Structure 1
Amino acid sequence: MRSASTIASTAPALGPERWPLLRAAAFVALGWLALSWPWLSGRATVPWDAKAHFQAQLQFLADSLHRGEAPFWNPFVFAGQPQIADPQSLIFSPPHLLLALLDSSPSLQATDGVALGMLLLGGFAILLLFRDRGWHWGGAVVAALSFAFGCSAAWRIQHTGQVLSLAYLPLAWWALERALDRRSLAYGLLAGVVAGFMVLGRDQVALIGVYLLAGVVLHRWTSAARPLASARASIAPLAAGTVGGILVVGLPLVMTALLAGDSNRPEIDYEGAARGSLHPASLLTAFAANLFGTDGPLVDFWGPPSPAWGPVDLFLARNMGDVYFGAIPLIAILAMGVAGRAFAAREIRFTLAATALLLLYALGRYTPAFALLFHLPGANLYRRPADATFVIGALAAILAGYAVHRLLSGSLAKLSPSKVATGAALIAGGLAACVATAWAKDRLGAAASPLAIAVASLAGAAVLLWGAARTVPRRPTLAVALLTLGLVADLAISNGPNESTALPSAVYDVLRADSRNPTIALLKQRLAATAAPDRRDRVELAGVDFHWPNASMVHRLDNTLGYNPVRLDLYSRATGAQDHVALPSQRTFSPLMPGYRSRLADLLGLRLIVTRGDVAEIDPALQPGDLNEIARTVDGRIYENPRALPRVLFAAEARKADFEALLANGRWPDFDPTRTVLLQDAPIAKPLALGPAGKVEIRRYANTQVVVSAASATGGYVVLNDVWHPWWFAEVDGQPAPLLRANVIFRAVLVPPGEHEVRFVFRPLDGAWDELNSRIQGH
Structure 2
Amino acid sequence: MSQPPASEPASPAARWPFASVVAIVLLCWIALSWPWLSGVVTIPWDAKAHFQPQLQFLAQAWHSGHSPFWTPYVFAGSPQVADPQSLIFSPPFALIAALEPVPGFRLGDFAVLGTLLAGALAFVVIFRDRDWHPAGAVVAALAFAFGAAAAWRIQHIGQVLSLGYFAITLALISRALERGSIAYGFAAGIVAGFMVLGRDQVALLGVYVLAGLVIAAIAMARNPWQALRTSLLPLLAGGLGAVLVATVPILLTAVLAEESNRPAIDLIGAGKGSLHPAALLTGLFANLYGAAGPLENFWGAPSPAFEARFGPQDLYLARNMSQLYLGLIPMGLVLTIGIVRGALLRREIVALSVATLLVLIFALGRFTPGFRLLFELPGIAFYRRPADALFILGALLALLGGYLTHLVMTGTEPRARRWQRILEVAIFAVALALALRLAWAVGRLSLAIVPLVTALLCGILCIGALVAARGFALRGAGLAAAIVIAVTLTVDLSVNNGPSESTALPSQDYDVLRADSTNETIALLKRETARTAGPDRRDRIELAGIGFHWPNASLVHQLDNTLGYNPLRLGLYSKATGAGDHVALPDQRTFSPLMPGYRSLLADMLGLRFIATGVPVEQIDKALKPGDLTQIARTPDAYVYENPRALPRVLLVTKTAKADFDAILASGQWPAGFDPRQTVLLDRDTPPLPPGPIVTGRSLPGPALPSSVRIADYGTTEVTLKVDAPQGGYVVLNDVWHHWWQAEIDGAPAELLRANVLFRAVAVPPGRSTVRFVFRPFRGLFEDIGTRLKAEQRPQG
Q: How does the TM-score come out when normalised to structure 1?
A: 0.97
1:677 and 2:674 correspond: no
Amino acid in the other structure paired with 2:455 = A
Partner of 2:306: 309
Partner of 1:749: 762
Matches within 5 A, 1:626-665: 626-665=628-667
Amino acid in the other structure paired with 2:216 = H
Matches within 5 A, 1:79-98: 79-98=76-95
Partner of 1:518: 520
Deviations 1:55-110 (CA, angstroms, capped at 9, x unpaired):
00000000000001110001100000100000000001111111111111101011
Partner of 2:395: 394
| Gap change, CA 1:778 and 1:265, over 3 Å in 2 | farther
Structure 2 residue matching 1:566: 3-state secondary structure: coil
343-352 or 680-689: bigger deviation: 680-689
178-187 or 73-82: bigger deviation: 178-187
Task: Give the C-alpha shift of residue 274 in structure 1.
Answer: 1.4
Displaced runs of 4+ in structure 1, greater than 6 A? none
1:403 and 2:414 correspond: no
CA contact (8 A) 1:722 1:746 kept: yes
Partner of 1:418: 419
Matches within 5 A, 1:238-253: 238-253=235-250
Distance 1:713 1:339 in 2: 87
Structure 2 residue matching 1:38: 3-state secondary structure: helix
Partner of 1:666: 668
Deviations 1:2-43 (CA, angstroms, capped at 9, x unpaired):
xxx9xxxxxxx9721223211111111011000000000001
Matches within 5 A, 1:441-480: 441-474=442-475, 475-480=477-482
Task: Give the C-alpha shift of residue 641 in structure 1.
Answer: 0.6
Aligned match for 2:251, one of 250, 254, 257: 254
Distance 1:340 1:402 in 2: 14
Amino acid in the other structure paired with 2:698 = P
Partner of 1:714: 727
1:170 and 2:167 correspond: yes
Task: Give the C-alpha shift of residue 233 in structure 1.
Answer: 2.4
Deviations 1:618-671 (CA, angstroms, capped at 9, x unpaired):
100000000111100110110111100000001111101100001100001121
Amino acid in the other structure paired with 1:479 = A
Deviations 1:581-632 (CA, angstroms, capped at 9, x unpaired):
0000000000000000000000000001111111111100000000111100
CA contact (8 A) 1:277 1:364 kept: yes
Partner of 1:18: 15
Deviations 1:420-452 (CA, angstroms, capped at 9, x unpaired):
322222122222221121122121111111111
Distance 1:258 1:198 in 2: 20
1:289 and 2:286 correspond: yes
333-342 or 504-513: bigger deviation: 333-342
Partner of 2:778: 765
Partner of 1:577: 579
Distance 2:398 2:515 in 1: 39
Aligned match for 1:116, one of 105, 113, 116: 113
Structure 2 residue matching 1:490: 3-state secondary structure: helix
468-477 or 293-302: bigger deviation: 468-477
Distance 1:408 1:260 in 2: 50
Structure 2 residue matching 1:230: 3-state secondary structure: helix
Distance 2:769 2:205 in 1: 53
Distance 2:411 2:582 in 1: 54
Amino acid in the other structure paired with 1:212 = V
1:179 and 2:176 correspond: yes
Amino acid in the other structure paired with 1:689 = L
Aligned match for 1:547, one of 538, 546, 549: 549
CA contact (8 A) 1:150 1:325 kept: yes
Partner of 1:688: 699
CA contact (8 A) 2:81 2:249 kept: yes
Matches within 5 A, 1:77-476: 77-310=74-307, 311-474=312-475, 475-476=477-478
Structure 1 residue matching 2:640: 3-state secondary structure: strand
CA contact (8 A) 2:657 2:686 kept: no
Structure 2 residue matching 1:567: 3-state secondary structure: coil
Distance 2:516 2:291 in 1: 33
Aligned match for 2:62, one of 61, 65, 74: 65
Structure 1 residue matching 2:774: 3-state secondary structure: strand
Deviations 1:363-399 (CA, angstroms, capped at 9, x unpaired):
1111111111111011011111111000000000001
Distance 2:267 2:761 in 1: 40
337-346 or 556-565: bigger deviation: 337-346
Distance 1:642 1:53 in 2: 31
Partner of 2:617: 615
Distance 1:613 1:344 in 2: 60
Task: Give the C-alpha shift of residue 459 in structure 1.
Answer: 2.1
Distance 1:292 1:43 in 2: 26
CA contact (8 A) 2:658 2:686 kept: no
Structure 2 residue matching 1:472: 3-state secondary structure: helix
Structure 1 residue matching 2:565: 3-state secondary structure: coil
CA contact (8 A) 2:140 2:398 kept: yes
Distance 1:527 1:321 in 2: 44
Structure 1 residue matching 2:518: 3-state secondary structure: coil
Distance 1:225 1:479 in 2: 34
15-24 or 735-744: bigger deviation: 15-24
Partner of 1:738: 751
Deviations 1:197-241 (CA, angstroms, capped at 9, x unpaired):
111111111111111111112102221223233223222111111
Distance 1:585 1:111 in 2: 31
Task: Give the C-alpha shift of residue 51 in structure 1.
Answer: 0.5
Q: Taking every aligned residue pair, what percent have the same amino acid on both sides?
A: 56
Structure 2 stretches of 5 or more lacking a match? 3-9, 689-696, 793-797
Partner of 1:704: 717
Q: How does the TM-score come out when normalised to structure 2?
A: 0.95
Amino acid in the other structure paired with 1:727 = W
Distance 2:89 2:158 in 1: 11
CA contact (8 A) 2:68 2:81 kept: yes
Amino acid in the other structure paired with 1:134 = D
Distance 2:662 2:610 in 1: 29
CA contact (8 A) 2:746 2:771 kept: yes
Superposed CA RMSD in Å reads: 1.3
Structure 2 residue matching 1:539: 3-state secondary structure: strand
Distance 1:188 1:171 in 2: 12
Amino acid in the other structure paired with 2:766 = P
CA contact (8 A) 2:119 2:166 kept: yes
Amino acid in the other structure paired with 1:635 = D
Partner of 1:44: 41
Distance 2:33 2:46 in 1: 19
493-502 or 463-472: bigger deviation: 463-472
Task: Give the C-alpha shift of residue 465 in structure 1.
Answer: 1.2
Deviations 1:154-193 (CA, angstroms, capped at 9, x unpaired):
0000000100000011211111111112211111101101
Distance 1:698 1:61 in 2: 24
Distance 1:684 1:401 in 2: 69
CA contact (8 A) 1:726 1:771 kept: no
Distance 1:775 1:315 in 2: 38
Amino acid in the other structure paired with 1:631 = A
Distance 1:494 1:595 in 2: 47
